[in-house]
Structure 1
């Protein structure tokens, strides 16, 4: 058995017996991945896994454990505290508080979907209008602890036919409209977003095939690890890059995200306003063991599971000059306006 298989057996042995039981599907996936890990050589071929890496919302964990915790995990997994410091925190006397309870990723995301359906504001912008969003970002230098805040304001053309003003950590530029043979994935124009199904299973298949509405009789059971990785990329990108969606699409995306194997819950995550919540992140089996992925957390209020904001990490420079940052962000406001740079 490889060192990786031994490590996975050790983690599974130490898995919290009081955690919510795994469903049959997840249990079978765990067995399959653990079996594969046990038969892996000490120097596995990483070329295929490396090809699947994407610079968005990636956290690495070994394959068998990722499957085992897909139904949601728990206290004792890596804790990301205030300012992004990493450490381990086990359940203690305060484990009864909402942010500390064992909770499955699917429960959090299904509750978030239900909350969104009750509170979402229906919007139907015209194709010639713009969606204005204001995002607040707080960034912390991991080495020095220095903090900096940014206000990013975007004006995105509804149908993509006009140039849009977009910002990233305080820097803005005019983004030209898509050309005749150009497209963007995951989609951001409302013409495509309106066509995406609001049933979570159909949404998964639509994102898998990049087709929009999909009436094929495909089964989620037939989706492989690489395809699940691609589906997560599309769902996470959709939820992060499109803060305002057609009615019903965001709840469906939350529910669909909860169906992705390797999605898990992490307690005690601070958002940009200092609130403690439960976060959802993803252990991508396509990232080789020992290689870090791009960290991405969706943070939810611990009781209602209302969405609070994001936690991401980024780096700049290289070698000795490389700097690493933890980003906490949230959507401050949004509106539909008639022209770019027009504030509501």
Structure 2
């Protein structure tokens, strides 16, 4: 096919329409993360006349892109990154577009973690009993304590997050208080902060979207049955695959997307418990005792050590009540010479009518 027959995203047909829909989020991501451009070159090899991808190839394409997004979070090339929701727009376009188009994968088929399960087999895998107990306990606790809310599209979600960052070599500690006002439906400007840096987010354009979804109506449509929630989020609403047929790549994607969903401070009733229960279904999740949160409390960390991109990342829970205490993450400086341990938790949230309005 001649270059003139392609869109400026390197796509044709249905893929082109999806790429156009997500063009601005992808462009903004590439401007901030040059490393992402290499992965997006995959889009330029799509051919509308080619046979549809096999399930393993489609899973590998999606997995490689999510790995790249995770890698840019750990190795930022610029100032503090845009919030997680906007970054994941890139994953959504590829997940949707590859369902009907061919895509070029690296010749050796290897992913960023050099994993041996690159064929994406769905062999039975054991689930960690300790992790399952903690996550199911967290789901039960969330069900008992969640507050039903119904924000209007014209309102904002206010939330305040504490981030304690420690430089690994020197032990130097710095604490940030990030305050955010996110437009409920994305139609208004949002004010967000990352490591103390103020970021004004433009309203979502027509046809644009993010993960997790901004619109409350879309969040409410997500299943609260964990076995239905997982296929829905990794397929962006297009997959009806049973979790019994999941490949190793599918499970990684599920863990990644569920983690991003749980970072959102306010979810419809029943969705947060379902996300915890869904994490408990992921083979390979592990419980690690003795983890400290940003307030100095000792808890048990839940991680996914099977994938290199998740190294050092934990969800931390109280070992007795299973209350969620916060996140542990790692960040590498732009020079690559320093590693920071990040501990964070949300201390307050509310539904407000205006930007900069506090409860």
CA contact (8 A) 1:164 1:177 kept: yes
TM-score by length of 1: 0.68
CA contact (8 A) 1:60 1:293 kept: no
Of 244-253 and 225-234, more deviation after overlay is shown by 225-234
1:194 to 2:220 alignment: yes
Residue deviations 1:230-271 (CA, integer Å, cap 9, x gap) = 11111011112x111111100000000111112111111011
1:265 to 2:281 alignment: no
Structure 1 residue 272: Cα displacement: 1.1
Residue deviations 1:12-65 (CA, integer Å, cap 9, x gap) = xxxxxxxxxxxxxxxxxxxxxxxxxxxxxxxxxxx988665241799979779x
Distance 2:163 2:271 in 1: 25
TM-score by length of 2: 0.66
Structure 1 residue 275: Cα displacement: 1.1
Residue deviations 1:264-323 (CA, integer Å, cap 9, x gap) = 1111101111111111011244x4xxxx6453110000011111111111111225xx22
Residue in 2 that maps onto 1:334: 349
Distance 1:108 1:295 in 2: 19
Closer/same/farther in 2, CA of residues 188 and 234 from structure 1, 3 Å limit: farther
Distance 1:305 1:156 in 2: 28
Match of 2:179 among 142, 146, 153: 153
Residue in 2 that maps onto 1:222: 245
Distance 2:288 2:115 in 1: 16
Distance 1:259 1:306 in 2: 19
CA contact (8 A) 1:110 1:258 kept: yes
* Pairs within 5 Å for 1:1-344: 53=67, 54-55=69-70, 71-72=127-128, 104-211=130-237, 216=240, 218-240=241-263, 242-285=264-307, 287=308, 293-319=310-336, 322-344=337-359
Structure 1 residue 106: Cα displacement: 1.0
Distance 2:124 2:138 in 1: 23
CA contact (8 A) 2:299 2:318 kept: yes
Residue deviations 1:134-154 (CA, integer Å, cap 9, x gap) = 111111011111101110000
Of 118-127 and 180-189, more deviation after overlay is shown by 180-189
Closer/same/farther in 2, CA of residues 70 and 263 from structure 1, 3 Å limit: farther
Quote the RMSD (CA, aligned, Å): 2.7
Distance 1:281 1:174 in 2: 32
Distance 2:125 2:167 in 1: 31
SS at 2:221's partner residue?
Answer: coil
Distance 2:338 2:318 in 1: 30
Distance 1:300 1:310 in 2: 9
Distance 1:105 1:158 in 2: 33
Runs of 4+ in 1 over 3 A off after TM superposition: 47-52, 56-64, 67-70
Structure 1 residue 69: Cα displacement: 8.4
Structure 1 residue 182: Cα displacement: 1.6
Distance 2:358 2:130 in 1: 40
Gaps (5+ residues) in structure 2? 1-59, 75-111, 118-122
CA contact (8 A) 2:153 2:215 kept: no
Would you tell me which structure has more helix in proportion to its own residues?
2
Structure 1 residue 199: Cα displacement: 0.7
Distance 2:310 2:137 in 1: 27
Higher relative contact order structure (alpha carbons within 8 Å, sequence separation ≥ 6): 1
